[in-house]
Structure 1
């Protein structure tokens, strides 16, 4: 049985932490301590082979940080820039090393977005449409495309190994009922926690508080907060956020870039 490792490649909302334009306490904290910096959201699952979910603009730096030399498949959550902006980095992997089109899976909307932005890469992407709740098995792991509440065609992925059920949804508001039932009782849930307190976009994102409320109601064994902005509505530093999370006795964790979980 292959052991698999799930790595948070990036854990920020689109503007990253620190944002180049921002001098809030959260950004200043990350400037002072680069370990607290966050790149745009993406994750990696490694076993005998390597799969990434999303190709954020920071992809090259994230892959170098994790000493990744090849990527065998890509799953897409959706086609917003902060999730596909690094797709161009993979053209050279195909051209110079792998010498075969890179398999890319996602909704019809996500793939259409990639084709619009990266039309010049049509020769090196082997695209596959996933319909809602389609399953895809790769390297001994089952991935189920679960619709979430964000842009049209956005998926979270139920990730199942022989020992672990995990759900990853980087961008979502309250989960649609069928998806919620599919992921109830997961060992691990990693979910959108974009806002602190006031949610500017309640139809498309969670706040930290809303993520925790839904995640615990779904019976998640451990809940990882991701896609965090930390700027809005009140800036919050990681020191303050970790202090807030102590009340959950380790069941709720603020994910960090590079954090790895055995699954």
Structure 2
């Protein structure tokens, strides 16, 4: 399967609109972006593809990168930066099946699938399919499994994608703190490629109103507040899961400029082929993120 990182940024992206911080300035100078999160997965055997989350930057992402429009989509949770691109289905698709969890969220009184169905009831081209978390489904010839993670106050899911023909495995942490349930960690384990939420470096937790949480043995916070992993938390999880290749995504422009373009922070346009022989990087993209004002997640 061919995996393209269409959007690797957080809710404001990098460069952030109206921001002249060192990181946003450097990102403009380098000509790199981290738009709102989205991942395109192409099953090259069947010539089908699935889109993981629908970024508000959907239009620009598909104009920018050479990938086909998806045959299906998966929504991990209902925050706007992962969902609101679905409006682009209007006049772009003849039909688009969208898969989302059927578990009722106490915070909203409805499941992710129900929220998507209600919010986009005007899109007759979209058919929402309820998915039971932890139960594999087949989409575009690939095996997909939604796994619960921790992104309070909403229910949120990571994702495991396996090619049943080659055994290649992609794991996405989803938007989550480091406090991922043990069963979900087991399902995410041993990926060829791991895409891990790493919103900021741990040193910036002091600027969050809630500070950091899930501290390691050295006292380093592995979660930023309660909703996202720090860079250090994401790398610790990647090591625990024994990931072959790790890319840090959903990163904010708060990373200091001297750290924002370092490995393994991802940027838009990175592309990987996963097959029986492992992971091959196909693109020549670089990396991004920033620092400024009061911080929340």
Identify the residue that residue 227 of structure 1 maps to in structure 2. 250
* Secondary structure at the counterpart of residue 173 of structure 1: coil
* Stretch of structure 1 that moved more, 192-201 or 141-150: 192-201
Identify the residue that residue 293 of structure 2 maps to in structure 1. none
Q: Distance in 2 between matches of 1:144 and 1:10?
A: 21
Identify the residue that residue 260 of structure 1 maps to in structure 2. 271
Q: Distance in 2 between matches of 1:147 and 1:228?
A: 21
* Secondary structure at the counterpart of residue 272 of structure 2: strand
Q: Distance in 2 between matches of 1:104 and 1:153?
A: 17
Count of residue pairs the alignment pairs up:
241
Q: Aligned Cα RMSD in Å?
A: 1.7
Q: Distance in 1 between matches of 2:176 and 2:34?
A: 19
Identify the residue that residue 186 of structure 1 maps to in structure 2. 191
Identify the residue that residue 83 of structure 1 maps to in structure 2. 82
Identify the residue that residue 249 of structure 1 maps to in structure 2. none
Q: Distance in 1 between matches of 2:91 and 2:173?
A: 28
Q: Distance in 2 between matches of 1:255 and 1:7?
A: 11
Alignment of 1:12-51 (within 5 A): 12-34=9-31, 36-46=32-42, 47=44, 48-51=47-50
Is the 8 Å Cα contact of residues 56 and 85 (structure 1) preserved in structure 2? yes
- Pick closer, same or farther for the CA change 1:208–1:88 going to 2, 3 Å: same
Q: Distance in 1 between matches of 2:261 and 2:70?
A: 33
5+ unaligned residues in a row in structure 1: which ranges? 246-252
Q: Distance in 2 between matches of 1:104 and 1:192?
A: 23
Is the 8 Å Cα contact of residues 170 and 226 (structure 1) preserved in structure 2? no
Which of 97, 103, 112 pairs up with 2:97? 103
Which of 213, 225, 236 pairs up with 2:256? 236
Is the 8 Å Cα contact of residues 13 and 253 (structure 2) preserved in structure 1? no
Is the 8 Å Cα contact of residues 191 and 224 (structure 1) preserved in structure 2? yes
* Secondary structure at the counterpart of residue 92 of structure 1: coil
Identify the residue that residue 159 of structure 2 maps to in structure 1. 157
- Pick closer, same or farther for the CA change 1:74–1:11 going to 2, 3 Å: same
- Pick closer, same or farther for the CA change 1:70–1:220 going to 2, 3 Å: closer
Displacement after TM superposition at 1:69 (Å): 4.6
Which of 156, 174, 177 pairs up with 1:173? 177
Deviations 1:61-109 (A, max 9, x none): 1011123453210011111000111111111123xxx3xx311001132
Is the 8 Å Cα contact of residues 170 and 227 (structure 1) preserved in structure 2? no
Displacement after TM superposition at 1:259 (Å): 0.5
Deviations 1:231-260 (A, max 9, x none): 1xxx422x53455x4xxxxxxx22210101
Please report the TM-score for the alignment, with normalisation by the length of structure 2.
Answer: 0.76
Q: Point out 4+ residue stretches in structure 1 off by more than 6 angstroms.
A: none
Q: Distance in 1 between matches of 2:261 and 2:29?
A: 17
